[in-house]
Amino acid sequence: MLQRVGHIALLVSNLKEAVALFTEVLGAKVTRVYEAGEADQLPDGGAFLNFGGMHHDVLLIPAKPDQRPGLHHVAFYVEGEEDLVSIRDRLRRRGVQVGEPVTHGDQGPRAIYSGSRALYFPGPDGIKMEASYGMLTLGELGGSLAVHERPRAGSVGA
């Protein structure tokens, strides 16, 4: 079952200002900033931020003109695949339409690889929620924060 909050994703009206607030005022570090068109999962760009340890604790996503800035989704950590399947099955028994778990980084050649498996589902009032496990730590990434692909065999984290 859910263990703790994993990360939050926010829609922001100004990505540069939001990154500055989190880094200059709140002490976050930039894991990676993606420009528009650089990563398939973030077509309009975005920034992954961390407070030390994990690939990301906060994801900032530029809001489109027709979107209101605010919460995009909240993620919770689970222990493993059995928890994702259990949550999926229980949601389906409640009549909630939910897909299958995905591996972050398997969505295409420009996919962002964080090492995690996730299940996305609607929460209260339609809030997008994610249950995930297996996110790589910064140490497992070998200190490389410009991650677009899985670590290669023989590298740290492979």
- pLDDT in the model for residue 107: 54
Name the pLDDT band for 38 (thresholds 50, 70, 90). Answer: confident
C-alpha span between 19 and 15 (Å, rounded): 6
> pLDDT tens digits, residue range 101-123?
988 765 555 556 666 889 999 99
Edge-to-edge strands, sheet with 70-77: 29-34, 46-50, 58-62, 4-12, 70-77, 128-133, 117-122, 102-103
> pLDDT tens digits, residue range 43-96?
999 999 999 888 889 999 999 999 999 999 999 999 999 999 999 999 999 999
Mind listing the domains of the chain with CATH numbers? 4-133 (3.10.180.10)
Four-point Cα dihedral 55, 13, 73, 132, nearest 10: -10
The yes-or-no verdict on residue 33 having pLDDT over 60 is: yes
- pLDDT in the model for residue 54: 83
Residue 25 DSSP symbol: I
To the question of pTM greater than 0.85 for the whole model, the response is: no
Write down the residue that tokens 């961390």 correspond to: 50
- pLDDT in the model for residue 155: 30
Alpha helix locations (H) across the chain? 15-20, 81-93
